[in-house]
Amino acid sequence: MQAEPPDQSFCSAKDSHFGETSHLILSPSGVICFAAYDDFYRVMNSRCAERSHAFLTLSMAVSPEKTVGSLLKVFVPMVESVAILGGQGQLAFELQCLLAPDSGRSLSILGREDLDVTKAAQVDAVLSGIHPQIVINCAAQTQVDVAESTSENTFAINATGAGHVGRWCAANRAKLVYISTDHVFGQAIDRAHARPWRETDEPQPVSVYSRSKLAGEQATLEACPHSIVVRTCGLYGERPAKGKGNFVQTMLRLAQQRPVLKVVDDQWCTPSSAKDVAQAICSLLDDPEPFDPTTNLTSRIWHITNTGSTTWAQLAREIFSLQGFTTEVIPITTAEFNAPAHRPGYSVLDTSRFTQRYGELPSWKEALATYLQMLQRSE
């Protein structure tokens, strides 16, 4: 096979598998050449052998100071492919924007109609047809109140379906990320004595949705040794879910209809930008350590939200203030809102384990301002 003529529109991406000194250079045609390092061949050989990829070695007269053009010594297919399940959802949209092909990975976006996680045979057939090295399971029934009256279906998706995906990933040595929720910490505790929940704290889910998500976490971690769980909260993204929307866009919509809105003021959490959380998930994907199968189960759980905490009523006020709306927010209690599902009184997540290793996400106020500016630009 004749090597492709080098073109200069390469981008360089550090590859964490080979440490800081090596660079992978991605050509637009999707092959990867590199500044050669001996260990690169050893690992790449084994990787490509695993995937029965052609591993073409051309002449090997390589030295780091040569130009990209002369460094075209080894062509390898894409080294990692990613499949995102629940691919038509809010978080999946942000992930696919970040994991686009020029990030050095190939991407499969699988909506429910492409892959229904409740159907084990379809999970096996579709994933075996793609053979992703990384699976991000964003598939879920996320309508918390609807879940109260659809327990069987909710568990089939959020828990049993997660197990199907976990088993395929285990059998095919794929890394797996399961997205979970702050709602697993359902206990309504006194705000004055509360501290953010750590990954090692015992969950106390109080709704069908939160119980199904906790079961999904357990199914994932037990089925697949190379899996992690990312718990987050109150996601708002550019493409809200069909059935659920997101709180920010709901508030913007209701404010157009009513001058006064009643919003609960006794649920403390950290509503987060789906884009920021997706960026954080990409940090985890770039680091092999979190997927180390020898770590214990809780070490494979990561809390990721923007920083700070608030109530939904305070968030609503901040939305309207930033938008210059005069909408009045009347604080009410969860009991007064009287929704079908119980919700945590305090579900602020302690994200220090993630931030110590990868850095802090923006504050919830900064994230909200950025999001609203994005919405205004896209109008």
Ligand X SMILES: NC(=O)C1=CN([C@@H]2O[C@H](COP(=O)(O)OP(=O)(O)OC[C@H]3O[C@@H](n4cnc5c(N)ncnc54)[C@H](OP(=O)(O)O)[C@@H]3O)[C@@H](O)[C@H]2O)C=CC1
The footprint of ligand X (CB under 6 A) covers 85-86, 88-92, 112, 116-118, 138-142, 157, 161, 179, 181, 213, 232-235, 241-242, 244
62/130 with CB nearer ligand X: 130
From residue 347, give the alpha-carbon distance in Å to each of 138, 185, 210, 326, 356.
21, 6, 12, 29, 21
Contact window for ligand TDO (CB under 6 A) among 159-167, 263-271, 297-305, 371-379: 263-271
Q: How far is the CB of 56 from ligand X (least distance, A)?
A: 37
Q: Is 263 in the site for ligand TDO (CB under 6 A)?
A: yes
Whether residue 209 lies in the annotated active site: yes
The minimum distance between CB 250 and ligand X, in angstroms, equals 11
User: Cα dihedral sign for 281, 284, 286, 288?
Assistant: negative
Please name the helix (run of DSSP H) or strand (run of DSSP E) that holds residue 23, with its range, or none: strand 23-26
Q: Are 83 and 110 in contact (CB under 8 A)?
A: yes
Q: Exactly one of 37, 41, 178, 209 is catalytic; name it.
A: 209
The interface mask with ligand TDO, positions 45-84, x = CB under 6 A, is ----------------------------------------
Nearer to ligand X, 275 or 317 (CB): 275
* Tokens 């927010």 found at: 329
Q: Which is nearer to ligand TDO, 108 or 347 (CB)?
A: 347
Q: How many residues does the chain have?
A: 379
| Shortest Å, Cβ 201 to ligand TDO | 16
Closer Cβ to ligand X, 80 or 116, answer by number = 116
Q: How far is residue 37 CA from its own chain's centroid?
A: 32
Neighbours of 267 (CB within 10 A): 20
The residue type found at 38 is: D
Note whether 291 and 175 are within 8 A (CB): yes
DSSP string, 153-196: HHHIIIIIHHHHHHHHHHHTT-EEEEEEEGGGB-----GGG--P
Catalytic residues: 209
Residues that bind ligand TDO (CB under 6 A): 142, 144, 181-183, 233-234, 247, 250, 254, 261, 263-264, 267, 312, 337, 339, 343
